[in-house]
């Protein structure tokens, strides 16, 4: 029998009461007498005699009841609600738009993660409101608030994806890009590691040395993510392309295709910079986090060779400027959207840039 100690560290507990008798249910009730376990528990019951069972569940003091017949999505929604309750309490300390953007991004990623793992069609349309909120929050409150808030998230891939979206938008803002481009950057950030949702967390967070097979499996994620997006449809081709190319390097040493130079779109180049910076500054089971200036110093060693030097220079002055992290007002005269057309924001033939590269 499971004990309270076994459940102490679990972020959520699902009790499937469908085939349990009165004795087991009494034991579960005893476990749930502990407020902390009860708060994070979900009770899945059969609907055959739903009314009676639901009433029984409530009589036991079970707060979150789902019906097994409603399928895994009902359980997933109940788990999301537990996390959201926790996040909402903690988010009270954060700026309101960033808190809302965090919740919207997190909700979107939880929903598509659940659909993906069940091999169901993914409703990408759920991501658009999250992308919009991230873009608005960063313009009004700065990237700093969103990045602080993402640390609350229990899932490393979601935490990472929301932060990448935030930094990608911050880079777009530093370049004075149009609103539509910023939304595209937020979408690409949220979706860039979609393919990782099909890779076990135990492999993604493996502390020891990765063998050849592990590396090959992880390296499939850009193409896997792009394939899912292409199959679902309704996503801008520029975003699909950026998802597929976010690990490509200018010198052809990246993956999955070893694309070089101009074959890597401007949106992908921007996403790569946001992705590398986020990965370096976040703590993972297998590595400590770097400070922003340490991360930029490492990236400076890649500039020109692997990542776009001009974009890195703009990103560098943006993220190392504490005023920028707090707030970045909209440009006085935003230009036309360019990323959808694959135009590089730093290329002189697009028109004279209005920003200063530090
Ligand atoms: Fe990735
Ligand atoms: Fe990533």
Based on the fold, state whether residues 81 and 60 are members of the same structural domain.
Answer: no
Residue 186 — very low, low, confident or very high, per pLDDT cuts 50/70/90? very high
Q: How far is the CA of 319 from the centre of ligand 1 (A)?
A: 21
- Asked whether residue 196 falls in the same domain as residue 262, the answer is yes
| The last residue of a domain, from among 70, 90, 124 | 70
* Ligand that comes closest to the CA of residue 196: 1
Q: Per the domain annotation, does 356 fall within a domain? A: no
pTM of the full structure: 0.82
Regarding whether 87 and 52 lie in a shared domain, the answer is no
- Alpha-helical runs (H) found in 142-233: 143-150, 156-174, 179-191, 201-204, 212-218, 221-232
Alpha helix positions (H), 33-155: 35-39, 50-60, 72-91, 96-117, 127-141, 143-150
Among residues 45, 40, 38, the alpha carbon closest in space to that of 10 is found at 40
Q: Are residues 46 and 121 in the same domain?
A: no
More confident residue, 81 or 48: 81
Dist CA 138 CA 173 (whole Å): 9
80 and 32 together in one domain: no
Phi and psi at residue 41, to the nearest 5°: -105, 145
Identify the weakest region by mean pLDDT among 25-34, 164-173, 202-211: 25-34
Q: Are residues 186 and 297 in the same domain?
A: yes
Task: Tell me, yes or no, whether 240 and 184 share the same domain.
Answer: yes
Q: What angle do CA 149, 85, 203 make, to 5 degrees?
A: 60
**Pair (64, 78) in one structural domain:** no
Average the pLDDT over each of 31-45, 99-113, 165-179 and give the range with the smallest value: 31-45
Give the C-alpha distances (Å, rounded to integers) separating 345 from 273, 274, 349: 14, 16, 10
pLDDT digits (tens, 9 = 90+) for 203-250: 887 777 888 888 888 999 999 999 999 988 889 999 999 999 999 999
**Based on the structure, what is the number of domains in the chain?**
2
Same domain assignment for residues 66 and 27: yes
| Residue that terminates a domain, selected from 70, 98, 116 | 70
Q: What is the pLDDT of residue 34?
A: 64
Encode pLDDT of 293-352 as tens digits.
999 999 999 999 999 999 999 999 888 876 665 555 555 556 778 888 887 777 655 544
pLDDT in tens, 246-296: 999 999 999 999 999 889 999 999 999 999 999 999 988 778 889 999 999
Q: Tokens 């040395």 belong to which residue?
A: 209
- Secondary structure (3-state) at 68: helix
Q: Do the domain assignments include residue 357?
A: no
Q: Both 66 and 78 in a single domain?
A: no
Q: How far is the CA of 226 from the centre of ligand 1 (A)?
A: 11
Give yes or no: residues 173 and 65 share one domain: no
**Residue pLDDT, tens place only, 41-79:** 777 776 565 565 565 566 556 667 777 777 777 777 788
Phi, psi torsion values for 193, nearest 5 degrees: -105, 25
- How many whole angstroms from its chain centre is CA 104? 11
CA of 328 to the centre of ligand 2 (A): 24
Domain boundary among the residues 38, 70, 102 is at 70
- pLDDT band with cut points at 50, 70 and 90 for residue 170: very high
**Cα dihedral 295, 301, 306, 310 sign:** positive
264 and 344 co-located in one domain: yes
Please state, in angstroms and rounded to a whole number, the distance separating the CA atoms of residues 248 and 252: 7
Report if residue 358 sits inside a domain.
no
* 283 within domain boundaries: yes
Distance 235 CA to ligand 2 centre (A): 19
Owning domain of residue 64:
4-70
* Cis peptide leading into residue 256 (ω within 30°): yes
What spacing in Å lies between the alpha carbon of 352 and ligand 1's midpoint? 32
Summarised one tens digit per residue, pLDDT across range 94-125 is 889 999 999 999 888 888 887 777 777 777 88
């Amino acid at each position: 029998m499971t004990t309270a100690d076994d459940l102490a560290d679990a972020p959520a507990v699902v009790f499937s009461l469908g085939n349990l008798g009165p004795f087991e249910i009494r034991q579960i009730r005893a476990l749930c007498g502990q407020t902390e376990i009860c708060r994070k528990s979900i009770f899945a019951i059969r609907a055959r005699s739903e009314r009676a069972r639901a009433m029984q569940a409530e009589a036991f003091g079970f707060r979150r009841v789902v019906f097994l017949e409603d399928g895994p999505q009902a359980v997933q929604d109940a788990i999301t609600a537990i996390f959201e309750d926790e996040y909402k309490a903690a988010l009270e300390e954060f700026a309101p738009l960033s808190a809302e953007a965090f919740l919207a991004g997190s909700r979107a990623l939880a929903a598509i993660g659940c659909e993906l793992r069940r091999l169901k069609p993914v409703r990408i349309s759920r991501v658009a409101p999250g992308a919009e909120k991230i873009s608005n929050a960063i313009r009004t409150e700065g990237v700093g608030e969103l990045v602080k808030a993402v640390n609350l998230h229990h899932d490393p891939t979601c935490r990472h994806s929301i932060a990448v979206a935030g930094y990608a938008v911050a880079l777009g803002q530093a370049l004075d890009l149009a609103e539509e481009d910023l939304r595209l950057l937020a979408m690409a950030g949220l979706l860039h590691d979609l393919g990782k949702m099909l890779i076990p967390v135990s492999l993604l967070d493996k502390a020891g040395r990765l063998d050849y097979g592990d590396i090959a499996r992880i390296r499939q994620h850009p193409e896997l993510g792009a394939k899912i997006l292409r199959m679902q449809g309704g996503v801008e081709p520029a975003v699909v392309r950026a998802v597929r190319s976010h690990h490509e390097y200018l010198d052809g040493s990246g993956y999955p295709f070893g694309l070089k130079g101009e074959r890597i779109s401007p949106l992908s180049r921007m996403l790569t910079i946001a992705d590398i910076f986020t990965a370096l500054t976040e703590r993972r089971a297998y590595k400590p986090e770097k400070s922003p200036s340490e991360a930029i110093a490492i990236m400076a060693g890649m500039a020109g060779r692997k990542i776009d030097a001009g974009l890195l220079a703009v990103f560098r002055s943006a993220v190392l400027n504490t005023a920028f992290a707090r707030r970045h007002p909209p440009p006085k005269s935003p230009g036309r959207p360019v990323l959808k057309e694959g135009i590089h924001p730093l290329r002189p033939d697009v028109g004279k840039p209005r920003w200063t590269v530090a």
